A and B are shown apart, each in its own frame.
Chain A
Amino acid sequence: MKLQVNGTVHELDIEPDMPLLWALRDELNIKGPKFGCGAGLCGACTVIIDGQATRSCQTAVGDVTSNVRTIDGLGKPDALHRVQQAWLDEQVVQCGYCQAGQIMNAVALLEANPTPSDKDIDDAMSGNLCRCGTYPRIRAAIKRAAAGQQTGA
């Protein structure tokens, strides 16, 4: 089967019911999406498909027909995406394990809604668990990225 990830098409010989997460991590060595719960409860595995934040642990790879965006294709340390830069500016991260999922979820939110309210942020982000308790800084980073998006900064 074919699977397009971050613009690159890969040829895979795997079971169509394999969760996208494990196709990415163990078959393609794309390690950005993280395994947290395997049940769509924590959001650590979040990727973006057709503009939607998607739990890759709950998505069968055989059902994926569009390009999959993961944090690995978002930005690099010397050329960060606006949301990643906001994360850095707010010094959001602690252990960092959930943050790839948090960032991808925030990117999807801001692409759909460039000026999210606190309620919008709650609604979009409450499915993403963080055990270090970085939520207040995640909220600040989303607002910072949104403001930068508005001014084009």
Chain B
Amino acid sequence: MASIGKIARRTFLVGAAAVAGGVAFGYYKYRQPLENPLTKDLANGEATFNPYIKIASDNRITVIVPRAEMGQGAFTTLAALVAEELDVTLDQIEIEHGPAAPAYYNDAALREGAPFPAFDHSMVAETVRNAMGVVGKFLALQMTGGSSSLADGYEKMRLAGATARETLKAAAAQKLGVSAASLNTEAGKVIDPKSGKSLTYGELALDAAKIDPPSDVALKPRSQWKLLGKPQQRKDMPAKVTGQPIFGIDVQLPDMLYATVRMNPQPGGAMKSFDASEALKMRGVKKVIAIDSLYGKGFAVIADNTWRAFKAADAVKVVWADGPGHRNDAEAKKILASTIAAGGGFSLRSAGDPEKAFADAPREKLVEAEYYAPFLSHATMEPMNATARLKDGVLDVWSPNQAPSVIKIIGARLTKLADDKINAHTTFLGGGFGRRIEPDFSDYAIRIAMETEGRPVKVTWTREEDMSHGPYRPAALAKYRARLGNDGFPVAIHGSVASPSVMAGMVGRIMPGLPTAGPDNLILDGTYNQPYTIPNYRIDGYKAPLSTPVASWRSVGNSFNAFMNESFIDELAHAGKIDPLEFRRKLMADYPTAIAILDKLKTFSDWGKPIDQTRAQGIAFTLSFGTWVGEVVQVKDENGSIRVEKVWIVADPGMVLDPLNFRAQMMSGAIYGLSAAIGQQISFKDGAPEQSNFSDYDALRMNQCPDIVIEILENSGHLGGAGEPATPPVMAALANAIFALNGKRIRSMPLNGEISFV
């Protein structure tokens, strides 16, 4: 494991810059409370207690959930953290995304980004994690990602509810002439059990908000929870089953214009020329403008209807220049392989001396394999869009986004307006998966709004534009090598993974100028930090010089590393003639959390019991985002095609705050991963992506969807994430099941390159 000294010397991207910066700033400024952004816009009779709570005299209680609701249920579960301590029911509250403000920084996402496995709670690891938390506050990153919303909000939002509750009690105590300690709270009221009198929160709010909250509020023990830990009805469900206009694409403003963009599909490529003369003659077309952005070069058509903008964009004659990136997939693979061959990588796991173990290994004890994963599009159901208005020196941007603070950074850069003249409004998101952290869709919308004389403009991308422009999940290539001992278990493993750096790409796009040299642990997430004990163990990462923009994609590095590492573990088990579940059981013997998962998975899936000749099971395990997940996939041969019949998931997130939603996230993550593993890829030809729509980049459909069953354990002692951890292991479990079925080892995704699926 790397030492703290080594870490500090590196420039760790956000992390690395962060660690150094955090220590330099020290704790003093960090300890200063951040401004409550709600105080500026209070309605008459409304009081705010902290950045998460507003209570009005008429008993309207508003909870701010500063994380994007993109399907993962954060809206309901995060609000429940506040409601639990405030002692209100979920029916009594309204939930809002709230404004973009430093008060809502996400330190858990950065903490989980520290280059240590989740099981490493040593002093060094904790010190670096804490330093990153400090820096999260400085950078005021308000983002939704890293499956971090609950871990981030767990303390903060319960404390927000509890401190508000105590001030409400103090206000009631003054009115009733009793001690605050003698009062109870329930369902939005303070109750005096002696007199039977009660006061609603609305009656107390204005007085209570003037009282300084006590500094020693005790949070409820788990045994007293009424909401947390229990299944809740999602608060966003009624609007979503009735088709309410809640998404970014539904934004409707008076006098609004409609636009679309067409950018060079070759990443980084310029626009040589464009001729809009035909387009400008078409009905409803107002303007065609060139866009020259850090994120792409191309043009926008502004019209009075989205379809007219699409149609006119088709009529623009444009000549694109080639981009600087790889021309085709063969070239990309060559670059990835040569990056490893050139050496000079960084190691995030190092034990013993694998090279020495390989040096005198008999040939029959050596196992080697190479794996590949392609670029992937996020393909959110709602195509990229944003609505912007620049009027009277104020910029407003409405968009389905995962990082409103990024929009404010972009807005300030483009318009030169002060921070308080820029408003980033977060709508509901029709899927996010990491794509909506990116600044591009907001950047283009702001540039277009700068050309519409104060009129708001909604910019909608076509599906083709969305799919043929990244940033993508990066392609990756890994080489693994192992030496097996006489007992069939590995005495040495050496893995080398090459991939373009997501962290360098994201930092470069969001905050150009920040240093992005040094290692990127995202390249190795899902392989260096797995709870396997191998005597000689080394995992190296290589930042590959592929210039195609790459981004976070549901589970990030885990999305390819789990496939590669867990396929290799499976290959070793078969080479050592040991059952793959028992094989993992022995290698993870030091980690009771993992053992409990495997034991549950074994009985749950009837692992090892004979099934008929047409069916087989495969297993994989991944610890990601603090959640430990084991999955078994069962496949069936249907006339030479593979059907994914059933998936068993056993997950341990330490603690489950809403079991209904947690299960939904496990199911969702597995289906998302299966879609990618079976058939998705963004391939390149002549420097441009070949895929354009769901016809050539499809996802699992109803008729292909397996039965999915889930068991939850709560042993790990660390609150893990929910949105991403089910995605990584399912891909390897599927590949391993196919090997178990027919002996065909597929080392390259998508798997339908080598076998057909129903």
**Bind each other:** yes
**A-side interface residues toward B, CB under 8 Å?**
14-15, 18-19, 21-22, 25-27, 29, 31-39, 41-42, 44, 70-72, 74-77, 80, 84, 87-88, 91-100, 103, 121-123, 125-139
Chain B residue nearest to A83 in the complex (CB):
B241
In the complex, A108 Cα to B425 Cα: how many Å?
A: 36
In the complex, A65 Cα to B675 Cα: how many Å?
A: 39
Which residues does chain A contribute within 8 Å of B307, judged by CB atoms? 18-19, 21-22, 26
Give 9 CB contacts A-B under 8 Å: A26-B305, A26-B306, A35-B460, A88-B241, A93-B236, A127-B701, A129-B694, A131-B381, A133-B669
Classify chain B: how many residues form its interface, as a range.
Answer: 35 or more
- Contact A93/B234 with A38-B462, A132-B668, A135-B671 known, Cβ cut-off 8 Å: yes
In the A-B complex, the 8 residue pairs with the smallest Cβ-Cβ separation, listed nearest first, are A133-B671, A97-B430, A95-B71, A96-B240, A32-B243, A94-B71, A71-B243, A22-B307
In the complex, A131 Cα to B575 Cα: how many Å?
A: 37
Q: Are A129 and B381 in contact (CB under 8 A)?
A: yes
Q: Is B707 an interface residue (CB 8 A)?
A: yes
Q: Is B613 an interface residue (CB 8 A)?
A: no
In the complex, A97 Cα to B436 Cα: how many Å?
A: 15
Given contacts A22-B305, A97-B380, list 16 more A-B pairs with CB under 8 A: A18-B308, A26-B307, A29-B252, A34-B381, A34-B382, A39-B463, A39-B693, A80-B242, A93-B241, A94-B73, A95-B432, A97-B381, A126-B701, A133-B669, A135-B705, A136-B708
Chain A residue nearest to B246 in the complex (CB):
A96
What does the 1/0 interface line of B234-270 toward A look like (CB < 8 Å)?
Answer: 1011111111011101101000001000000000000
Q: Are A27 and B305 in contact (CB under 8 A)?
A: yes
**B-side interface residues toward A, CB under 8 Å?**
70-73, 233-234, 236-243, 245-247, 249-250, 252, 258, 283, 305-308, 310, 379-383, 428-433, 460, 462-464, 660, 664, 667-672, 675, 693-695, 698-705, 707-708
In the complex, A15 Cα to B282 Cα: how many Å?
A: 11
Q: Are B236 and A25 in contact (CB under 8 A)?
A: no
Q: Are B708 and A131 in contact (CB under 8 A)?
A: no
In the complex, A98 Cα to B714 Cα: how many Å?
A: 33
Chain A residue nearest to B429 in the complex (CB):
A95
Which residues does chain B contribute within 8 Å of A134, judged by CB atoms? 664, 668
Q: Are A99 and B241 in contact (CB under 8 A)?
A: yes
Chain A residue nearest to B695 in the complex (CB):
A41
Q: Are B693 and A34 in contact (CB under 8 A)?
A: no
Which of A22, A42, A131, A135 neighbours the largest number of chain B CB atoms within 10 Å of its CB?
A: A131
Q: Are B670 and A36 in contact (CB under 8 A)?
A: no
- Please tell me which one of the listed residues B70, B243, B381, B664 contacts residue A42 in the complex, with CB atoms under 8 A apart: B381
In the complex, A44 Cα to B71 Cα: how many Å?
A: 16
In the complex, A92 Cα to B661 Cα: how many Å?
A: 10
Q: Are B379 and A131 in contact (CB under 8 A)?
A: yes
Give A139 Cβ to nearest chain B Cβ, in Å: 7
Q: Are A98 and B242 in contact (CB under 8 A)?
A: no
- Please tell me which one of the listed residues B236, B379, B675, B702 contacts residue A126 in the complex, with CB atoms under 8 A apart: B702
- Please tell me which one of the listed residues A29, A38, A122 contacts residue B703 in the complex, with CB atoms under 8 A apart: A122
Q: Are A77 and B239 in contact (CB under 8 A)?
A: yes
Give A122 Cβ to nearest chain B Cβ, in Å: 4
- Please tell me which one of the listed residues B242, B305, B672, B699 contacts residue A77 in the complex, with CB atoms under 8 A apart: B242
Which residues does chain B contribute within 8 Å of A39, judged by CB atoms? 463, 693-695
Q: Are A34 and B247 in contact (CB under 8 A)?
A: yes
Q: Are A125 and B702 in contact (CB under 8 A)?
A: yes
- Contact A132/B242 with A31-B252, A139-B702 known, Cβ cut-off 8 Å: no
Give A124 Cβ to nearest chain B Cβ, in Å: 9
Q: Are B664 and A41 in contact (CB under 8 A)?
A: no
Which of A14, A22, A39, A133 neighbours the largest number of chain B CB atoms within 10 Å of its CB?
A: A133
- Please tell me which one of the listed residues B242, B247, B699 contacts residue A75 in the complex, with CB atoms under 8 A apart: B242
Which residues does chain B contribute within 8 Å of A80, judged by CB atoms? 241-242
Q: Are B702 and A122 in contact (CB under 8 A)?
A: yes
Which residues does chain A contribute within 8 Å of B237, judged by CB atoms? 87-88, 91, 93
- Contact A131/B380 with A34-B249, A84-B242 known, Cβ cut-off 8 Å: yes
Q: Are A35 and B249 in contact (CB under 8 A)?
A: yes
Give B244 Cβ to nearest chain A Cβ, in Å: 8
- Contact A130/B243 with A39-B693, A96-B71 known, Cβ cut-off 8 Å: no
Give A47 Cβ to nearest chain B Cβ, in Å: 11
In the complex, A88 Cα to B700 Cα: how many Å?
A: 23
Which residues does chain A contribute within 8 Å of B308, judged by CB atoms? 18
Which residues does chain A contribute within 8 Å of B233, judged by CB atoms? 88, 91
Q: Are A71 and B242 in contact (CB under 8 A)?
A: yes
Q: Are A136 and B252 in contact (CB under 8 A)?
A: no
Give A22 Cβ to nearest chain B Cβ, in Å: 4
Q: Are B664 and A91 in contact (CB under 8 A)?
A: yes
In the complex, A98 Cα to B431 Cα: how many Å?
A: 10
